[in-house]
Amino acid sequence: MIVSYKISEDFERLLSDLKIDIIKTLPIEEIDEPVKDHPDMAVHPIDYNKFVVYNKHRNYYGRKLKEYGVTIIPSSNELNKFYPNDIALNVSRTNDYYFYKENSIDLSIENYLKKISKSVLVKQGYSKCSSLIIDKDTVITSDKGLYKAYLNNGIKCYLIPFGDILLPGYDTGFIGGCGGMISDDEILFYGNLERYKYSKQLVEILKSENIKYYYPRDCEFVDLGSIIGIRGGIDD
């Protein structure tokens, strides 16, 4: 998996216990400090064979991903801290659709996705951060606009309350940046789910979808950017 370089020691021990190899992100110096570690700001997997990565980090991810047989495609757009110039790689995906803010998707990503899926324009620029995708056509979000967009396109979506997610520098983080699937029926979170105000609602959803969940206990429920699987997981 590709994970934030800001992960806690307890989270790293949990990964070791789960026998998961990790690649830590590099800082994206061009964007805001609170999110420059986030995987979903720097990497977008087209599939398990092709990843679009931030062009200034292509050599780093090229070296790291070579052993997994992943082809690296450099991003086209330049990133900077002025929204929406930071969100080019932050695109939400389901089985047949991709969701993004108009004129804000990286051209390298769009060139691939338009051949294999349908585009849906949404107001939320951080569509991936805002979407915890737990199956190819099942999503959890706290963004009402995305919720409607998913439902309108036949995608099963759960709406949970907004807020109470740690993201230093911002009032709150996003649910999609709190973790990611590590197999068809297992999800991993960066922080302690028990410290999340809406953990009961989230756990009920996961149980209803027969998804097991793992989390460390030494930190708050935190948004460090969507965990990105390298192989295995929901697209196998």
- When pLDDT is averaged across residues 31-49 and rounded to a whole number, the result is 96
More confident residue, 231 or 136: 136
Torsion sign across C-alpha atoms 221, 225, 226, 228: negative
* Res. 232: pLDDT tops 50: no
168-202: burial string, b at 16+ Cβ within 10 Å, e else: eeeeebbbbbbbbbbeeeebbbbbbbeebebbeeb
Q: Which residue has the tokens 């922080």?
A: 191
* Res. 236: pLDDT tops 60: no
* Res. 99: pLDDT tops 70: yes
Instruction: Count CA atoms within 13 Å of residue 64 on its CB side.
Output: 18
**Alpha-carbon distances of 231 from 69, 73, 191, 219, 234, rounded to whole Å:** 10, 17, 23, 27, 9
Q: What is the mean pLDDT of the chain?
A: 95
Return the closest-CA partner of residue 165 out of 194, 197, 138: 197
* Res. 69: pLDDT tops 80: yes
When pLDDT is cut at 50, 70 and 90, the band that residue 233 belongs to is very low
- When pLDDT is averaged across residues 60-81 and rounded to a whole number, the result is 95
Tokens of 10: 């307890």
Q: What pLDDT score was predicted for residue 231?
A: 72
* Res. 73: pLDDT tops 70: yes
pTM of the model: 0.95
Q: How far apart are CA 6 and CA 137, in angstroms?
A: 30
Q: What pLDDT score was predicted for residue 234?
A: 39
Q: Do 89 and 107 touch, CB atoms closer than 8 A?
A: no
- When pLDDT is averaged across residues 47-73 and rounded to a whole number, the result is 95
Burial (CB < 10 A; 0-12, 13-18, 19+), residue 3, is buried
When pLDDT is cut at 50, 70 and 90, the band that residue 110 belongs to is very high
Q: Within a 10 A sphere around the Cβ of 233, how many other Cβ atoms?
A: 18
- When pLDDT is averaged across residues 146-159 and rounded to a whole number, the result is 98
Q: Do 223 and 166 touch, CB atoms closer than 8 A?
A: yes
Residues 180-204: tens digit of each pLDDT:
999 999 999 999 999 999 999 999 9
